[in-house]
Amino acid sequence: MRKAIVLLAAMAAATLLLLGGCSRQDKIVKTQGHVFGTTVEISVYGESEARANELGAQVLKEFDRLHHKYHAWQPSMLTSLNDAIARGEPFQADEEMVSLLQSAAELSARSDYLFNPTIGHLIRLWGFQKNDITAQGPSAAEIKRWVDADPRLSDLRYQGTVVSSVNPAVMIDLGGYAKGYALDRAAAILRDAKVKAALVNVGGNVIAVGQPGARPWQVGIRDPRGEGAIATVSLHDNEAVGTSGDYERYFMKDGKRHPHIVDPRTGQTIDLVASVTIVISGGSDVGLRSDGNSKPLFITGAEGWEAMAKRLGLNEVMMVDAQRNILMTPAMRARMDTGSAPR
């Protein structure tokens, strides 16, 4: 990868904001909800209001199903799996869960286990497995206990859809992966319904279906601690944007920001990066890849993100570091300059 383009910025990290991709006379109907602990929005283009609302309701129903199935601390199929692992017992899952866990395991291995959904004990220790986040101060001994246990998705064993673990320290938290899967499910529902175009936003993770008129969808990368966008990204059919940031689930303690992303190597929260935004194109799992792949880049930080991006095959990446510098790959810069994906 060529040397990243560095821009000095007077603003902090990025989240995503729909700016619109069509003229005023074109019809976009939006359906909003709250699931996965964040705001979700389904924008449907070129359909009647009644049909767009119906499709939005179908997507929200699917989101609700996934939210309850993969919730990390309220009773769910996932918590039942974690309880069985802690007892050293096998668990009867289903094909969807097994497929999701196995795809997550592949990404985990490719990222040198920096993407590690099995560190639920550490995430809970830091107080992020609850709705109301308060300042925490886990002891070094508590952190060391779970770091030394070295849980990984490779510890799981499968017999059909029966899942077990050789490591009882495994506690799976799919908060950094399930939203991406939800985007792919939403896109499948909307494509099956033959919509002309749609955009689905799950807390700043966005997937595009089709094109709203003559122009692609326009998504702004916004300053999360202020108003306005620092850049605009054009999204074409079957492209997704994923952002990991330090600005939604975090707490401040002794002047230090502690976001919900934890380095599995140290058990510590990450305070060197404000956000990472990536664009993923093509394939049947652009949502999954846009969600999961941003986490290893966030953990490696400004010194190692380019090497990790190359390792993961990511071309379009933007990082805002803790000093508010914007680091960007040439391909990401080209997309922003030209309003289209680099060819």
Let me know: does 206 contact 25? Beta carbons within 8 Å. no
**220/68 Cα distance (integer angstroms):** 30
**72/62 Cα distance (integer angstroms):** 18
pLDDT computed for residue 200 by the predictor: 98
pLDDT band at 225 (very low <50, low <70, confident <90, very high): low
What is the strand order of the sheet 91-92 is part of?
A: 91-92, 162-165, 156-159
**133/147 Cα distance (integer angstroms):** 22
pLDDT computed for residue 8 by the predictor: 31
**44/199 Cα distance (integer angstroms):** 7
**297/280 Cα distance (integer angstroms):** 14
pLDDT computed for residue 226 by the predictor: 61
pLDDT band at 195 (very low <50, low <70, confident <90, very high): very high
Asked if pLDDT for residue 10 goes beyond 60, the answer is: no
Two tokens, residue 221: 């990368």
- Among all chains, which residue has been given the structure tokens 């175009």? 197
Q: pLDDT by residue (tens digit) across 12-66?
A: 233 444 544 444 446 899 999 999 888 999 999 999 999 999 999 999 999 999 9
The whole-model pTM stands at 0.90
Q: pLDDT by residue (tens digit) across 22-37?
A: 444 468 999 999 998 8
In angstroms, the Cα distances linking 73 to 40, 100, 158, 175, 321 are: 21, 18, 23, 11, 31
pLDDT computed for residue 132 by the predictor: 79
